[in-house]
């Protein structure tokens, strides 16, 4: 949710979190939802952001090489693995974006691809790479589709050469449709990409162009039809609600278009306007109107469920929908699970045995280290004791439920008792409904799912 005055939960005495109601009746526990007639808008204060601050411990920079050596000598043990490759360039910066790193110049493409392939070679013979299959690869950014066609093909081929991909591995190429012509589409498919995820955000030309996107509605539709005509890969688009000028009507038209086009899937995301983003400043300075308010965003969220379900789309996770069975949404789901993630490219983040790590973000730093034969890891964090349980909570909640009994058995902990007051409150507030051992999220609960997940993660610190 958008925040102007974040409260940092990590500043609160963590051990007292669940006891707050008992020890101090005036203090409301952070997980306590308001009991109202309209939980989708009123269950929590939208201006409070919960950062669960899971307690990861940074590894001292001089110990990172030895620790990486140890971690990469151990075979992966989680049931699924993903790989994330970051392409750090964009032709232009979209006003709302916090992932922007560097402007794209045509001459950067070959050098980037050469360096990325060398980076993959650095870990290619490590046990952590070779011992188990990789189930989903994601080329993200940035804008992978900005690269030149021969380099697109080379980097997708390199992934297939240097990583032990499962036979049914999902290989997603992300990007935008401006400057993604036939030659680049063909190069990605020839390289082995079997899924495209394109950032449409909105088909409405005025809305798109107000926030820095270039293509018109007609151009987008024509390019998506061209990509679909290959009939060689899954094609999904991102839609976002929360932009200036967006209305319920423009949002409904976007949802209708993705169905009419015959896409395999669509992701519906809620826009957070971060205070550091250009869009925040544009709105502050009056250059653009504010986007939909909280109530309208809740209506848009509800409408996306009504319309997509009404058109017989399948809900694959909280934000992800499939129209055809070709769409599996592997990467997006496993990225939020306890899976390992192998990371490559400047600014890429990964996970090995619960340790999270991040590559140098500056392209030059990343490139110089790779040229010296050094895996360019800038940051390594040791996992907190409950990282696996936290991820297991996320795995449940991404699929719109919580099963405390099953989690208790798996983690040898009485989570049912720990969460009893929380889940009782959330049921009373209309955020969850109990069905057997499952606590299913209502539509209001789904709207608040990120908050509920973070709050559950926060509660387990008091165990
Ligand atoms: S293309 Fe994507 S990564 Fe680049 S600025 Fe726009 S939203 Fe951000």
pLDDT tens, 267-283?
Answer: 999 999 999 999 999 99
pLDDT for position 5:
29
Distance of CA 90 from the midpoint of ligand 1 (Å): 6
Rounded distance between C-alpha atoms, residue 174 and residue 39, angstroms:
35
Q: Is 94 in the pocket of ligand 1 (CB under 6 A)?
A: yes
pLDDT for position 461:
84
Rounded distance between C-alpha atoms, residue 282 and residue 373, angstroms:
43
What's the helix, strand, coil split of the chain in %, to 5?
45, 20, 40
Nearest CA to ligand 1 atom 3: 142
pLDDT for position 99:
84
Confidence of residue 49 (pLDDT cuts 50, 70, 90): low
Q: Is 290 in the pocket of ligand 1 (CB under 6 A)?
A: no
Q: Which residues contact 359 (CB under 8 A, 6 or more apart)?
A: 86, 343, 344, 345, 346, 347, 348, 349, 366, 376, 377, 378
Q: Is the pLDDT of residue 392 over 90?
A: yes
Average pLDDT over residues 110-121: 98
pLDDT for position 9:
27
Q: Domains (ranges, CATH) in the chain?
A: 9-54+386-462 (1.10.10), 63-334 (3.20.20.70)
Confidence of residue 310 (pLDDT cuts 50, 70, 90): very high
pLDDT for position 15:
28
Nearest CA to ligand 1 atom 5: 93
Distance of CA 139 from the midpoint of ligand 1 (Å): 13
pLDDT for position 274:
92
Cα-based torsion angle of the residue sequence 156, 162, 164, 165 in order, rounded to the nearest 10 degrees: 0
Q: Is the pLDDT of residue 91 over 70?
A: yes
pLDDT for position 354:
95
pLDDT tens, 186-212?
Answer: 999 999 999 999 999 999 999 999 999
Q: Is 88 in the pocket of ligand 1 (CB under 6 A)?
A: no
List the end-to-end C-alpha distance of the chain, in Å, as a whole number: 28
pLDDT for position 17:
31
Average pLDDT over residues 243-259: 98
Please choose, from the candidates 179, 192, 89, 97, the residue with its C-alpha nearest in 3D space to the C-alpha of residue 137: 192
pLDDT for position 380:
98
Q: Is 121 exposed, middle or buried (0-12, 13-18, 19+ CB in 10 A)?
A: middle
Element housing 231 (H / E):
none
pLDDT tens, 361-372?
Answer: 999 999 999 999
Distance of CA 93 from the midpoint of ligand 1 (Å): 6
Q: Which atom of ligand 1 is nearest to the CA of 98?
A: 8
What is the share, in percent, of the chain residues with pLDDT greater than 70?
92
User: 198 or 19: whose pLDDT is higher?
Assistant: 198
Average pLDDT over residues 390-401: 97
Sign of CA dihedral 381, 383, 388, 394: negative
Q: Is the pLDDT of residue 327 over 70?
A: yes
Q: Is 447 in the pocket of ligand 1 (CB under 6 A)?
A: no
Q: Is 90 in the pocket of ligand 1 (CB under 6 A)?
A: yes
pLDDT for position 168:
97
Sign of CA dihedral 366, 372, 374, 379: negative
Confidence of residue 64 (pLDDT cuts 50, 70, 90): very high
Average pLDDT over residues 16-45: 70
Encoding tokens for residue 291? 């986007």
**Per DSSP, what are the bridge partners of residue 343?**
84
Q: Which atom of ligand 1 is nearest to the CA of 90?
A: 4
Nearest CA to ligand 1 atom 2: 142
Q: How confident is the prediction for the chain on average, in pLDDT?
A: 92
Confidence of residue 51 (pLDDT cuts 50, 70, 90): low
Average pLDDT over residues 234-248: 98
Edge to edge, what strands does the sheet with 438-441 contain?
401-402, 438-441, 432-435
Q: Is 278 in the pocket of ligand 1 (CB under 6 A)?
A: no
Distance of CA 329 from the midpoint of ligand 1 (Å): 21
pLDDT for position 186:
98
Encoding tokens for residue 217? 């509605």
The upper half-sphere exposure of residue 96, i.e. CA atoms within 13 Å in the direction of its Cβ, equals 22
Q: Is the pLDDT of residue 314 over 80?
A: yes
Encoding tokens for residue 360? 């140098």
Least confident residue range of 171-175, 323-327, 385-389: 385-389
**Per DSSP, what are the bridge partners of residue 170?**
136
Supply angle C-alpha 294, 296, 299, rounded to 5. Answer: 115
Distance of CA 101 from the midpoint of ligand 1 (Å): 9
Q: Is 244 in the pocket of ligand 1 (CB under 6 A)?
A: no
Distance of CA 462 from the midpoint of ligand 1 (Å): 39
pLDDT for position 131:
85
Q: Which residues contact 324 (CB under 8 A, 6 or more apart)?
A: 234, 264, 265
pLDDT for position 12:
27
Q: Is 289 exposed, middle or buried (0-12, 13-18, 19+ CB in 10 A)?
A: exposed
Least confident residue range of 21-35, 166-180, 273-287: 21-35
What is the share, in percent, of the chain residues with pLDDT greater than 90?
88
The upper half-sphere exposure of residue 300, i.e. CA atoms within 13 Å in the direction of its Cβ, equals 28
pLDDT for position 30:
87
Encoding tokens for residue 68? 């990486």
Sign of CA dihedral 454, 47, 248, 37: positive
Contact 130, 165 (CB under 8 A): no
Q: Is 357 in the pocket of ligand 1 (CB under 6 A)?
A: no
Q: Is the pLDDT of residue 13 over 90?
A: no
């Amino acid at each position: 949710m958008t925040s102007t005055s974040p409260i940092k939960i990590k500043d609160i005495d963590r051990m007292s979190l669940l006891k707050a109601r008992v020890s101090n009746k005036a203090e409301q526990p952070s997980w306590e939802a308001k009991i109202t007639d309209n939980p989708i808008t009123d269950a929590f204060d939208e201006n409070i952001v919960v950062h669960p601050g899971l307690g990861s411990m940074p590894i001292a920079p001089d110990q990172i090489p030895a620790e990486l050596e140890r971690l990469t000598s151990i075979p992966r043990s989680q049931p699924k693995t993903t790989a994330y490759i970051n392409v750090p360039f964009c032709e232009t910066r979209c006003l709302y974006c916090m992932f922007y790193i560097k402007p794209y110049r045509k001459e950067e493409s070959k050098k980037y691809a050469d360096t990325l392939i060398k980076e993959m070679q650095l870990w290619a013979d490590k046990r952590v790479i070779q011992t188990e299959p990789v189930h989903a690869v994601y080329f993200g950014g940035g804008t992978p589709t900005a690269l030149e066609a021969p380099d697109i093909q080379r980097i997708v081929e390199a992934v297939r050469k240097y990583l032990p991909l499962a036979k049914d591995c999902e290989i997603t190429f992300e990007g935008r449709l401006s400057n993604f012509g036939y030659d680049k589409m063909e190069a990605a498919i020839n390289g082995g990409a079997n899924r495209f995820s394109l950032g449409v955000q909105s088909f409405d030309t005025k809305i798109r162009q107000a926030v820095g996107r270039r293509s018109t509605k007609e151009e987008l539709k024509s390019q998506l039809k061209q990509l679909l005509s290959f009939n060689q890969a899954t094609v999904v688009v991102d839609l976002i609600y929360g932009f200036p000028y967006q209305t319920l009507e423009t949002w409904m038209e976007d949802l209708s278009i993705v169905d009419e086009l015959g896409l395999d899937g669509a992701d519906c995301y809620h826009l957070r306007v971060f205070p550091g983003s250009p869009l925040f400043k544009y709105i502050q300075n009056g250059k653009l109107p504010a986007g939909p308010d909280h109530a309208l965003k809740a209506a848009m969220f509800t409408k996306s469920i009504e319309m997509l379900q009404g058109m017989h789309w399948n809900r694959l996770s909280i934000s992800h929908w499939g129209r055809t069975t070709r769409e599996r949404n592997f990467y997006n789901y496993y990225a939020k699970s306890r899976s390992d993630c192998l990371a490559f490219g400047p600014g890429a983040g990964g996970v090995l045995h619960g340790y999270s790590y991040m590559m140098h973000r500056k392209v030059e730093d990343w490139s110089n280290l790779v040229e010296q034969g050094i895996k360019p890891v800038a940051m390594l964090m040791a996992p907190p004791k409950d990282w696996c349980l936290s991820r297991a909570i996320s795995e449940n909640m991404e699929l719109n439920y919580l099963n405390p009994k099953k989690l208790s058995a798996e983690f040898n902990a009485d989570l049912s008792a720990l969460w009893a007051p929380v889940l009782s409150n959330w049921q009373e507030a209309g955020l969850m409904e109990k069905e057997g051992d499952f606590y299913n999220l209502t539509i209001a609960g789904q709207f608040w799912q990120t908050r509920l997940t973070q709050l559950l993660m926060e509660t387990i610190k008091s165990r």
